[in-house]
């Protein structure tokens, strides 16, 4: 297990770091105010190849392994989390299913445009009655001739208002339970696909999400992703694969919060000394740094395990749980360290605090991760 990054990845990491600092961060407050990532930022992200991190070189992407992607996600996580989420979801659950499960025809058809960012990816699993209970799907897919007819609602679908390609889970055989779910590639222009009203969220402004409605939506049989009736397994694979990337984005945000906190505590004075000289403050800073290093080591270990094709169901769940909880604790400490300044919207600390909260909910709640961990432990100890 070697955590030293390849020379090419180090160069890419430095390039992305400069891009985030110079081309994205100056627009962070504008993203927050407009609830939209500026077109020029998206176009420059396309030019840099940031939409093709997960896509193999033969289809126009950068073809990075998980360790490489995490190295870049860490840098991307240091800016506005709306931008971070848009890029992260596209490269993660938005494209991984097609990369890992798609046949050659599907890969040639979709991946080149997704690699350039001309087509944005999204993942549609969650429903009003199927969030944490992901097997309780009500969206159906009935075979008629050479097409499947989809009916149902998905909600809280990140990237939905701007997405062109959706990985969708639907029930093809209700009598088989989880073995009756199938994955589909659904294009936004397929007849019967409707994007609902964009949701107003506590945070993640600039990362649009909305309901996705299927009303007799016609999907060609050639757009079945993977094997029929293996949709639930596919969903788990896609989510598990993406958890290291999500942790890397969380890690980047944590590092940014520590950077801002360190600058502030060395400049801000109380009782005639910088506040870092007060033990209460210095201990909060120490706790932040400790948890960042722990998360970093754990994240790269799991990323390495993914690249080695090792089983990571338990470890990925642990990482998603730990990364989300660490981000929330560090955001809370950053607000406390900054005092009143950390609570006002003119400064980015309160934005990170709001954005951190969703990480304990989306892509599997913290409670669901604990269920997965305990389930895997029972198997190991049985």
Fold observed for domain 121-229: Butyryl-CoA Dehydrogenase, subunit A; domain 2 (2.40.110)
Cα–Cα nearest to 303, from 70, 52, 87: 70
Is residue 130 scored above 90 in pLDDT? Answer: no
The residue ranking higher by pLDDT, 242 or 95, is 95
The mean predicted confidence, pLDDT, of the chain is 95
Is residue 2 scored above 80 in pLDDT? Answer: no
Which residues make beta-bridge pairs with 140? 151, 171
pLDDT in tens, 158-176: 999 999 999 999 999 999 9
What's this model's pTM, rounded to 2 decimal places? 0.94
pLDDT mean over 86-99: 96
pLDDT mean over 328-354: 97
Parse the chain into domains and list their residue ranges: 7-116, 121-229, 233-381
pLDDT at 60: 97
Catalytic site residue from 118, 363, 367, 380: 363
Residue 260 and residue 338: Cα distance in Å, rounded? 9
pLDDT mean over 185-206: 96
pLDDT in tens, 32-45: 999 999 999 999 99
pLDDT at 136: 86
Residue 363 annotated as catalytic? yes
pLDDT in tens, 210-257: 999 999 999 999 999 999 888 888 888 888 878 999 999 999 999 999
pLDDT mean over 341-352: 96
> How confident is residue 50, by pLDDT bands cut at 50, 70 and 90?
very high
7-116 carries CATH number 1.10.540.10: yes
pLDDT at 133: 75
CB 31 within 8 A of CB 204: no
Is residue 143 scored above 80 in pLDDT? Answer: yes
The CATH superfamily holding the domain 233-381 is: Butyryl-CoA Dehydrogenase, subunit A, domain 3 (1.20.140.10)
Is residue 134 scored above 90 in pLDDT? Answer: no
């Amino acid at each position: 297990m070697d955590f030293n990054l390849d020379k090419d990845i180090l160069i890419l990491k430095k390039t992305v770091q400069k891009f985030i600092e110079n081309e994205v961060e100056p627009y962070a407050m504008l993203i927050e105010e407009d609830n939209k990532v500026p077109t020029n930022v998206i176009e420059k992200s396309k030019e840099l190849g940031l939409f093709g991190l997960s896509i193999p070189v033969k289809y126009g992407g950068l073809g990075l392994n998980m360790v490489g992607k995490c190295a870049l996600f860490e840098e991307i996580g240091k800016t506005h989390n709306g931008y971070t989420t848009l890029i992260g979801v596209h490269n993660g659950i938005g494209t991984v299913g097609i990369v890992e499960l798609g046949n050659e025809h599907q890969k040639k058809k979709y991946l080149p445009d997704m690699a350039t960012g001309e087509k944005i990816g999204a993942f549609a699993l969650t429903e009003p009655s199927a969030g944490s209970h992901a097997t309780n799907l009500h969206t159906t897919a009935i075979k008629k001739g050479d097409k499947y007819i989809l009916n149902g609602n998905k909600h809280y679908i990140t990237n939905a208002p701007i997405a062109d390609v959706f990985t969708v889970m639907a029930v093809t055989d209700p009598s088989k339970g989880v073995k009756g779910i199938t994955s589909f590639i659904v294009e936004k222009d397929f007849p019967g696909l409707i994007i609902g009203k964009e949701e107003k969220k506590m945070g993640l402004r600039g990362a649009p999400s909305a309901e996705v409605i299927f009303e007799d939506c016609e999907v060609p049989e050639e757009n079945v992703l993977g094997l029929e009736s293996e949709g639930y397994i596919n969903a788990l694979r896609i989510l598990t694969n993406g958890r290291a990337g999500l942790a890397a984005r969380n890690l980047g945000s944590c590092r940014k919060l520590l950077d801002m906190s360190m600058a502030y505590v060395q400049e801000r004075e109380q009782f005639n000394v910088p506040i870092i000289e007060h033990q209460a403050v210095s201990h909060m800073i120490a706790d932040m740094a400790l948890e960042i290093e722990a998360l970093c080591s754990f994240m790269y270990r799991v990323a390495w395990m993914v690249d080695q094709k090792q089983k990571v169901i338990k470890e990925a769940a642990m990482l998603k749980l730990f990364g989300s909880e660490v981000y929330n604790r560090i955001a809370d400490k950053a607000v406390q360290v900054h005092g009143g300044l950390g609570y006002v919207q003119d400064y980015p600390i309160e934005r990170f605090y709001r954005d951190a909260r969703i990480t304990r909910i989306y892509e599997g709640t913290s409670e669901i991760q604990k269920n997965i961990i305990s389930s895997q432990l029972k198997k190991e100890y049985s």
